[in-house]
Homo-oligomer: A and B are copies of this chain.
């Protein structure tokens, strides 16, 4: 079995943007394949009694997060623009990420969605924005209609159930076997672990 790492992300998550833009390269360098696993944090946060992002509920933490993102993106030469609306509704984008086949095409779509949101400041709940992301990442732009596909809706529901069963409580999260790594700060540890776990 090839070394594989599951990358669980919510499109509303700022720190998942950091990981989405570098995970492919970090994993490839260690011979690890990436499974792109979109899910929704909303239902998981709701079980903790949160009705929005903890960065809204706890303003000091939110203020810090934006400054931290600015510093990290600057250090990585990664474009960053704080979107006007936060957190954005990531439901349609998550469904479409599931609709795009696993692998390079899904990776490209995911990166396009994160970039349009956090590098260009666009609203990813807008189907026109998502259609552009599909086109830019090599999928048919009219695949945007699959955001209403009952099969895809059910698939995303199942993804959230899987995330809960894996004890995922935030994003980005990385899963290798029974090990959970949380946060962009653990991406390198997760890749190293995946590399050794499968050899």
Contact = CB atoms under 8 A, between A and B. Distances in A.
Quick one: which of A64, A68, A183 has the most chain B CB within 10 A?
A: A64
Interface in A145-198: 167-170, 179-180, 182-183, 185-186, 189
Contact of A48 (B58, B71, B185): B58
B185 A64 contact: no
| Copies per complex of this chain | 2
A1 interface: no
B64 A182 contact: yes
14 contacts: A58-B169, A60-B167, A60-B169, A61-B169, A63-B167, A64-B167, A64-B180, A64-B182, A67-B179, A68-B182, A68-B186, A71-B189, A75-B189, A183-B185
A104 to B, nearest CB: 30
A153 B75 CA distance: 41
B180 A67 contact: yes
Contacts of A60: 167-169
Contacts of A58: 48, 169
A126 to B, nearest CB: 32
Interface residues of A, number: 21
A15 B122 CA distance: 36
A180 B68 CA distance: 9
Contacts of A68: 182, 186
A82 B186 CA distance: 21
A168 B60 CA distance: 7
A68 B180 CA distance: 9
Interface string A60-98: 110110011001000100000000000000000000000
A76 to B, nearest CB: 12
Contacts of A71: 189
A64 B173 CA distance: 11
A66 to B, nearest CB: 12
